[in-house]
Amino acid sequence: MVIGDLLLDQFIWGDVSRISPEAPVPVVWVKNEDFMPGGASNVASNLTKLGAEVMLVGIVGSDDRGEILKKQLIEKNIATDGIVTSEGRPTVQKTRIIAHNQQVVRIDRENTDHIAGVDLAKVVDYIKRNIRHVDGIIIEDYGKGLVTPALLKKIIPLAKRHGKLIAVDPKESNFSCYKGINVITPNHHEAAKAVGFSLESDEALEKAGEKLLRKLKSEVVLITLGERGMIIFEKGKSYHKIPTVAQEVFDVSGAGDTVIAVYTLSVISGASAPMAAHIANYAAGIVVGKVGIAVVEKGDLLKGLRREAGRRAR
Please check the confidence at residue 226 and state whether its pLDDT lies above 90: no
Residue 314 burial by Cβ neighbours in a 10 Å radius (0-12, 13-18, 19+): exposed
Please check the confidence at residue 69 and state whether its pLDDT lies above 80: yes
Q: Which pLDDT score is estimated for 291?
A: 53
Q: Which pLDDT score is estimated for 247?
A: 52
Largest CA distance in the chain: 63
Phi, psi at residue 42, to the nearest 5°?
Answer: -75, -35
In this structure, what is the dihedral angle of CA atoms 232, 235, 236, 242, given to the nearest 10 degrees? -10
Q: Which pLDDT score is estimated for 162?
A: 96
Please check the confidence at residue 250 and state whether its pLDDT lies above 70: no
**Is 262 strand, coil or helix?**
helix
Domain 1-14+28-133 identical in fold to domain 164-314: yes
Query: What residues does each domain of the chain span?
Result: 1-14+28-133, 164-314
Q: What is the mean pLDDT of the chain?
A: 90
Cα–Cα distance for residue pair 176/8, rounded to 1 Å? 28
Q: What mean pLDDT comes out for the span 268-294?
A: 83
Cα–Cα distance for residue pair 138/145, rounded to 1 Å? 16
Kindly give the pairing relationship between strand 26-39 and strand 6-19.
antiparallel
Q: What mean pLDDT comes out for the span 266-276?
A: 95
**Phi-psi region at 213: left, alpha or beta (left = phi > 0; alpha = psi -120 to 50):** alpha
Cα–Cα distance for residue pair 158/139, rounded to 1 Å? 13
Identify the CA nearest to 73 among candidates 94, 106, 51, 48: 48
- pLDDT bracket for residue 313 (50, 70, 90): low
Kindly give the pairing relationship between strand 220-224 and strand 183-184.
parallel
Please check the confidence at residue 292 and state whether its pLDDT lies above 60: no
Catalytic residue among 141, 202, 257, 300: 257
Do 137 and 152 contact (CB within 8 A), yes or no? no
Return the minimum-mean-pLDDT range out of 100-109, 227-236, 248-257, 264-273: 248-257
- Bigger pLDDT: 120 or 298? 120
Q: Which pLDDT score is estimated for 72?
A: 93
**Is 225 strand, coil or helix?**
coil
- pLDDT bracket for residue 147 (50, 70, 90): very high
Phi, psi at residue 169, to the nearest 5°?
Answer: -100, 110
Please check the confidence at residue 298 and state whether its pLDDT lies above 90: no
Cα–Cα distances (Å) from 93 to 35, 87, 118, 140, 299, in that order, read: 10, 16, 23, 16, 30
The secondary structure of 275-303 as a DSSP string is HHHHHHHHHHHHHTTSSSS----HHHHHH
Strands laid side by side in the 92-99 sheet = 26-39, 6-19, 92-99, 102-109
State whether CATH 3.40.50.2000 applies to domain 164-314: no
- Clarify whether 63 is annotated catalytic: no
Q: What is the DSSP letter of 187?
A: B
Please check the confidence at residue 231 and state whether its pLDDT lies above 50: yes
Please tell me the pTM assigned to this model: 0.90
CATH number for domain 1-14+28-133, candidates 3.40.920.10, 1.10.1740.10, 3.40.1190.20, 1.10.760.10:
3.40.1190.20
Q: Which pLDDT score is estimated for 251?
A: 43
Percent share of the chain, pLDDT over 70: 94
Q: What mean pLDDT comes out for the span 27-33?
A: 94
CA 77 from centre of chain: 19
